Structure 1
Amino acid sequence: MDPRTNFYGLCLSGFLAKASYALARTPVLALFAASFGVGPEAIGFAVAISTITGVFFKMPAGVISDIIGRRRTMLIGLAFFAVIPFLYLVVHTYNTLLLVRFLHGFATAIYGPVIMAVVVDVAGKKRGEMLSLFSSVTIVGNLIGAPLGGFLLGRLADGGEQQLVHFHIIYGVVAALGMVALLIGVWASSTLAPNGTSVLSHL
C-alpha cells in the first residue's frame, strides 16, 4: 500500500474516532448524567472521570506499545472506541454511567500516545507536515462530534423531555462511528510494520 494511502486512512480513522468520542461527551454526557437526578458536582464528575483514566494509563500505554508493537496498540485503542460505546446501551443508573465512562477513557488513553508515533513512521521526511495535517483532521472530528450530539438529542426529544432511549440511540451512533474507525484503522495499517522505534523517542 502506498504510504499516502496509509496516512489518509489513518486520518479518516482518527477523524471518526475523535468525532465519536466528542459525540459521546459534549453535551450529551452531562445531560445523560443529569437525567438520573444527580447534582452539578456529580454531573461534573461523570464528565471528568474519563480524564482520570488518561492520567494513569497514557504512559503505560506508550510502554506497552514498545513491547507489543505500535500497530497492535493502536488497534487496541480503536477497539475501545468501537466496543465500549455499546455498554452505554445498558446504562440505567448513574453509577453504571460512571463505570462505562471510566472504561471509555481507555480509548484515548491507549490511542493518543501511539497514533502520533504511527503517523511519524508513515510520514518519513514529511513528518512535520503530516503530523500537522493529522492533528487538524482529528480536531475537526472533535468540533463536529460535539454539536452533532446536541443536534441529535434535540431532534430526538423534539422539544419535549429527554428520555433514556434518546441517549441510548445517540450512543448507538457513537458505537457505529467507532466501529467504522476501527475497520478503517485495520485496513490503513495492514501494511505497516508491527514494531518500530520507541514511542518515547517521539514525545
Structure 2
Amino acid sequence: MNRFPPAPPVLSFNQVRLEPLAPEHEAGLIAAVRDGELWKLAVTTAPAPEQVAAYIQTALSTRTAFAVIDECSGKIVGTTAFYDTDPDVPRLYIGYTWYAQSAQRTRINTSCKILLLDYAFDTLNCQAVGWHTDILNTASQRAIERLGAQRDGILRRDRKRKDGSLRDTVVYSLLREEWPSAKSALLSRLHAYSETGDIAVQS
C-alpha cells in the first residue's frame, strides 16, 4: 500500500521553510522549546528539552512531521505535522504544532498553514483538512477560526492532558471548495502588514 501522505518535499513560502522532521533537527527544537518554556504549558504538545529526541522518534513513526524554519534567521522555530490520515476520502488533520515564544504572533504560523493547506488540497487532492484542539486553548481556537475553518463540534472527555486531567476536544474542518476563498483572505492579511521586517499576524 502506498503511504498517505507520501514523503513530502521541502516546502517554502514567505521566508518560512518546512523540512521533513529528522533527528538532525533535535538541537534546533531544543532551543525552540526553551524559548518560552513551552513544555510547561498544559495545553500544548511541546516536549521538555530532554524529551525532544524521543518526541522526534515518535513523530517519525506516527505522523508526517516537519521542522519549521525561519529563513530570515535560519533558526528552527517549531514543528507541525499531518496526522490521522485517511487515504480513502482523502482527509487528514494538521496538528502537533508549537512555536518558540519569539515566533508566536508573527508571519510564521499563517505562512505554515498556507504551505500545509496548499500541499494538502492541491498536491494530495484532499477533500477535507481538520484540526483538534483543547477546549481550554482559546488562543488555538481563534487561530484555527482565522484560517477559515468551521467548528464541527466537541468531543467530550476525549483524551488526557499532560497533568492527567481529561480534556474536551474542539474539532474543526476546512473543505476543499472552501480553501480558495480562505487562502485569499489569508494572503490579504499577510499583505496588509509591514512591507519590511516581520508580519505581525497570528493564525
TM beyond 0.5: no
Bigger share in helix? 1
TM-score (norm 2): 0.25
More relative contact order in 1 or in 2 (CA 8 Å, sep 6+)? 1
Bigger share in strand? 2
TM-score (norm 1): 0.25
